[in-house]
Amino acid sequence: MLSGCLSTESPYKTISEADNLSGKNLFCEEHNAFVTYSFFDEKRFQTDYYFLVSLEIGIRSGTYGVLSNVRYFYLKPNKNLEILNLSEKSENEKNWERKIYQTPKLDYYLDRENLNIVFSPIDYSEIKHKCNIFDGTTEELRDSTLKKYLKHFEEKENKKIYDEIREIDQQRKKNKI
């Protein structure tokens, strides 16, 4: 029998004060999205995806922790993905359409060395997105990102995309799709 195959030791480490991300916020960019991570306490986080190809924001919460390789935190989002549709392009959340979707659980990892979100906790893993620490509160991060997001759709080359999205959404509502 191979040594260690029957190990009952958890691959996760107990979180120490140095490993506690409570109150930390990250701003990340992907090819087609702005992404934020807000860490609420020693185990809970929320990620918000601001999709740049549609007027939708995806919100998902989950848990995080330290692996035995302390360079990485695991990020384990839950299955519920809330999608906010901003087809009216309003900063007022009361105007946003909300839907909850069940999605597969996909674990990601935060590389503490370079603040990348990666697909696996190893050197040379594919990078999902690169992040920077946001110096401010969760609310300030959300407000700042939302303003940047809405400004993106006001830029001349993106305005046409927004108008097309709005037209499709109005047609979808009219046809009750």
pLDDT digits (tens, 9 = 90+) for 117-145: 999 998 888 889 899 999 999 999 999 99
Q: Look up the domain containing 46 and give its range.
A: 18-174
7 lies in some domain? no
Helix (H) or strand (E) segment spanning residue 58: strand 56-67
Alpha helices in 38-137 (DSSP H): none
74 lies in some domain? yes
Name the pTM for this structure: 0.78
136 lies in some domain? yes
pLDDT of the residue at 4: 41
Query: How far apart (Å, rounded) are the C-alpha atoms in residues 74 and 67?
Result: 7
User: For the chain, how many residues are written?
Assistant: 177
3 lies in some domain? no
C-alpha dihedral (145, 150, 156, 161), degrees to nearest 10: 110
Neighbours of 136 (CB within 10 A): 13
Neighbours of 46 (CB within 10 A): 17
Provide the number of structural domains found in the chain: 1
